[in-house]
Chain A
Amino acid sequence: MSNTNDKMPEQLTSIAEVEDARLARQEEKSKSQGRIVFERFIKHKPAMISSAVLVIITVVAFTSIGYGPLPGWWDKSYLAAGQVVDGGRPTMSLWPTWLGGSGFAIGEHPFGQDSIGKDYFALVMNGTQKSIIIGVVVGLVATFIGAVIGAVAGYFRGWVDEILMRMTDLFIVIPLLVLAAVLGQMAGASSGSIITLALVLGLVTWTGLARLVRGEVLSLREREYVAAAQAMGSRTGRVIFKHLLPNTIGVIVVNATFAIAGAILLESSLSFLGFGVQPPESSLGLLISQYQNAFTSRPWLFWWPGMIIVAIALSVNFLGDGLRDAFDPRQSSRPRRRKLSLLNRKG
């Protein structure tokens, strides 16, 4: 068992000296709060697995069919119709022969084909791209708006707070799906671009974060370092952006991940209802909507996009869990200390 106290010089008899000696002897590299959080985060297994899953999905989605003018390694396009082979059944097989399968093979159409012979892998990858872009853009926009509105309301309080929070309430009481559907339709009709759709969704989903950040700022603004900054004559902007917002980063990052997961699901719902991404572009929700009747006859047309939505949403949520535990270990549901100590004893 290592114990720093034992190494202290015995003759020290004042706590002030002990502390100073400890500081002077402190050799290990200084760690910032960010660094400590990062180290805790990489110890969080579900979050690390989820990160890997997310990275794989993202990389495959963007490199396989390429993005915009950039070509990908998958030779089929999601726009080109073709000959329907074997009723459009997936050609991918993962069961090894010794388990009674047909061995590992990707085949011509790994995810199968749709009714007019489009390669379903290319379609699903295109949909995944759209879902990821929407998730990230919505996450960024909603986080930015929410954080700024929350911080301003919490810092100034009084009538500024009243106005901003009543505005937030207004956004909250209108059903999100209705608001998003109407605005999404208008955005889709005017430009057809999914970025516009994402921006619009971002404009209606910032409310939760705004409330959380406001609460954090309300408590942080009473801290003495904020009073010290005000007393030395810092301008308001500096106090908010240098002293308050960086200290709410935990809340912001954690909720940004949940906002991304929420946005992907919201886009799926909108596209499913026909208010989101419009054909010939596709998105995961749109694919499910188009092939919902195929569920019994050609289930793969339903399963692939569905599974990917679930995979992305779950991973992002686990990632958020990991970040929350890293930023605030006290909230952790896992008995980490016990486990760690047992591991140490064995090792």
Chain B
Amino acid sequence: MSTEATENFALSFQDLKVTFETEARDVQAVKGLSLQVRPGEVVALVGESGSGKSVTSTAAMGLLPGNANITGEARVGNVNVVGLDKGKMRKMRATDIAMVFQEPMTALNPVLTVERQLTEALELHGIAYGKEATARAVELLTMVGIPQPEKRIKQYPHQFSGGQRQRIVIAMAISCDPKVIIADEPTTALDVTVQAEILDLMRELKDRLNTGILLITHNMGVVADMADRVAVMFQGNLVETGTVEQVLLKPEHEYTQRLLAAVPKLEQVALTTTGLAHDSMTAAKDRELVLTAKDLVLEYDMRGTKYRAVEGVSFDIAKGEVLGIVGESGSGKSTVAKAVLGLLPVAEGSLLVKGNNLPKLSPREAREVRKTIGVIFQDPAASLNPRFPIGDCITEPMVVHKVGNKASRTKRAQELLDAVKLPRNVINRYPHELSGGQRQRICIARALTLSPELLIADEPTSALDVSVQAVVLEMLQDLQRDFNFACLFVSHDLAVVDMLADSVVVMQNGKSVEQGRVKDVLHAPQHDYTRRLLAAAPVPDPHQQAVRRDAWRILNSQK
């Protein structure tokens, strides 16, 4: 241990163990972790939910709740912060160790100006006061690339975009020149194109300031893009460490191998060359159309003023086909799904489900049409009624449409549980007893209860871990083949759409910018926006990612 202490690490963990005491039992979240971060180095701590990666970083910040029991060492510089008293810990925060949080909206205080929040740490630690602190804050904003910093520093967080807010959070983190920055999923809440910009910024700052960065992430693409070394955690254990090339290209532990295999990849993308014009989607004959949207216009009513979320989008889906809708937040992709589900009225245009124009139907006819549509939503925590047992959740569509009796409903629920590969005795359990992935499988079962002809999946896997996502997607593919329903699949993840869909619509600001067959649109994109989207999505291979990053820079400069 003494030999390690002589080398100057920015952050090092030595046999760190964290146990939480909960109402029911003790839970060991981290089971003996040893890891070092050198100055100027980015170490990625990778893992899925429950791996203990966030607990590790929180322990280094001294922010674990009172029911946590910590043993071992977590050194920031030369100071062991395990068991350090609160006053000393407070002095170290910002000047020795700083944090970048996941959600920039909640990490900033909405009622204080950016100036107040940026100068706070400087004044607390006695680095600069008053005008001097403001001048330093302006300098920081310039460093993180906020235009017109003198003017914008007087503004409040809501006046900035999501990416800019994350830049401000980063500016706060570097304000007191910390030895190490912990970045806990810093880009997870952001769109891919914004994510690429933030990663660029962090890479540049790290080189300039020579800080160590502990990057907590579940995204292998981000790892490939940023990290020098990688540590993989699973169930509280560190299963593999090594350089980014070693771990991502020649993983040794079985868990890492399977994790990497589970990441959906979008390869062979022609980003810079101009491909041929796509052939028309309706080339194939005798397609049995299930859903047809024509010049669809959708509006939200914001206190009297109409806000157009979708304008002039047309597409169709035939039986047995999967149509992906991709786009960033605010592109209107989920709004389209909402309209098909009847949760939002159609302002203009037509929406035909099996030839029936949905906006023109009477409530009774609309209910009949609903019978043929199943739905899966994004958030598995919120999409099942917590007071319903699983069996009731699955058979609810039958109850609503008065199909079958008690016995036949139970039988159907059991069949569906088999189809989604969950044990039959789950029927009497409650949603809170299941994990996110299992709940999402229950949602799939519920969507299939009435053997729908159309399945609407709104980001069904974006809240799931990579390996769980792989299981759910595979299941969805199998079921789609077996039941042969048409599927409208909304996602922000181009690789997932590439894997699942036959055709795709790329949306930006409520308009369709490019649509056609997946192999054309996602592999030889015509439109600049599609190209930028593709280039911004990082791939879990450091060499390929370097190529992508350059392509992204070129595309971005052309913008």
Contacts and interface: CB of A to CB of B under 8 A. Distances in A.
Interface of A: 1-5, 8, 13-16, 18-20, 22-24, 26, 30-34, 223-225, 227-235, 238, 242-243, 246-247, 329, 335-338, 340-341, 344
A247 B401 CA distance: 23
A23 B255 contact: no
A346 to B, nearest CB: 14
Given A24-B423, A232-B396, A238-B400, A33 B382 contact: no
Closest 4 CB pairs of A and B: A233-B370, A231-B341, A224-B383, A341-B21
B435 interface: yes
12 contacts: A2-B26, A4-B25, A14-B467, A30-B433, A225-B382, A225-B385, A229-B385, A231-B341, A231-B342, A233-B370, A233-B400, A337-B22
Nearest to A29: B428
Contacts of B236: 5
Nearest to B472: A16
A34 to B, nearest CB: 8
Contact of B386 (A22, A247, A344): A247
Contact of B389 (A32, A229, A230, A340): A32
Contact of B371 (A5, A14, A30, A233): A233
A243 B375 CA distance: 17
B283 interface: no
Nearest to B437: A16
B25 A2 contact: yes
A231 B234 contact: no
B385 A247 contact: yes
A242 B386 CA distance: 11
A26 B341 CA distance: 36
A224 B377 contact: yes
B513 interface: no
Given A3-B26, A5-B28, A337-B22, A234 B438 contact: no
Given A30-B430, A228-B375, A336-B23, A23 B49 contact: no
Contacts of A32: 387, 389, 430
Nearest to B390: A30
A8 B255 CA distance: 15
A233 B366 contact: yes
Nearest to A226: B385
Given A231-B375, A232-B396, 20 more contacts: A3-B27, A13-B234, A13-B253, A13-B255, A13-B258, A15-B468, A16-B470, A18-B235, A23-B423, A30-B389, A30-B433, A33-B432, A224-B378, A224-B383, A225-B383, A246-B387, A247-B386, A337-B21, A341-B21, A341-B26
Nearest to B239: A13
Interface string B459-492: 0000001011011000000000000000000000
Interface in B438-461: 438, 443, 446, 456
A15 B49 contact: yes
A328 to B, nearest CB: 13
B438 A30 contact: no
Contact of B428 (A30, A223, A242): A30
Interface string B20-54: 01110111100000000000000000001110000
Given A13-B234, A16-B468, A1 B26 contact: yes
Interface string B409-440: 00000000000011100101110111101100
Nearest to B400: A234
Residue with the greatest number of chain A CB neighbours at <10 A, chosen from B23, B341, B370, B379: B23
Nearest to B435: A19
B396 A229 contact: yes
Indicate the member of B25, B50, B236, B396 with the most A CB atoms within 10 Å: B396
A338 B23 CA distance: 9
Contacts of B397: 232
B159 interface: no
B286 interface: no
A231 B49 CA distance: 30
B26 A228 contact: no
Nearest to A6: B28
B87 interface: no
B158 interface: no
